[in-house]
Amino acid sequence: MPFVRVRKPDNFARWAQIAAAISSGGGILIAGVSVGVGIHQFSQTQREAEFARFEEAQKLHETQAIEARRPYLEQKLKWCTEAIEKAAAIAADANQAKPETKTRFWQLYYGVMAMIENKELEKAMVAFGNAMDTGQVKQLQKLSLHISYACRDEMAKEWSPAWSR
């Protein structure tokens, strides 16, 4: 068998081949990375938009819920205000309070307030009602304030936290 000498390519040609392979593969790699980054950015944008739509829908739902309850809440506020005013009038001077003021307090106590009050407001109304017979002005004034605070807290829970302090 004859001896054939195989010529080795020179270094420049070899490096040129490597560079060509890298550049063609690198282009594919760069294109792949670019597509991946684009897909990621698109997905992120879609998630952010979906989250914004969800938050907007929640706010709308909360607003609609309050609007649907508005007539009840306004009436409840009116009754609470009236109970506070009657209790305050009685507390100012229990002995001088008009009989119709006391009568109206008891009407609220046994009527609408029993329907709308939570436990704290109920306790405040009961304590004030029990103390009315004592005629102790200082105690009645303190208990009248408890009715006010309980009404305020209840309205804060049901209507808006802006009511609370």
Q: Does residue 159 register a pLDDT over 70?
A: yes
The token pair that represents 161 in the structure block: 């936290």
Domain ranges of the chain: 29-163
Of residues 133 and 33, which shows the higher confidence score? 133
pLDDT digits (tens, 9 = 90+) for 88-134: 999 998 778 889 999 999 999 999 999 888 999 999 999 999 998 88
Residue 153: CA atoms inside 13 Å, Cβ hemisphere, count? 13
Nearest to 146 by CA among 114, 108, 120, 113: 120
Residue 63 has pLDDT above 90, yes or no: no
Q: What type of residue sits at position 127?
A: A
Compute the residue count for the chain: 165
**Predicted pLDDT at 14:** 67
The whole-angstrom separation of Cα 10 and Cα 30 is 30
Q: Are 101 and 86 in contact (CB under 8 A)?
A: yes
User: What dihedral angle (degrees, nearest 10) is formed by the CA atoms of 156, 162, 73, 120?
Assistant: 20
Say what the pTM is. 0.62
pLDDT at position 11, please? 64
Model confidence at 40, in pLDDT bands (50, 70, 90)?
Answer: confident
Burial of 141 (0-12, 13-18, 19+ CB in 10 A): middle
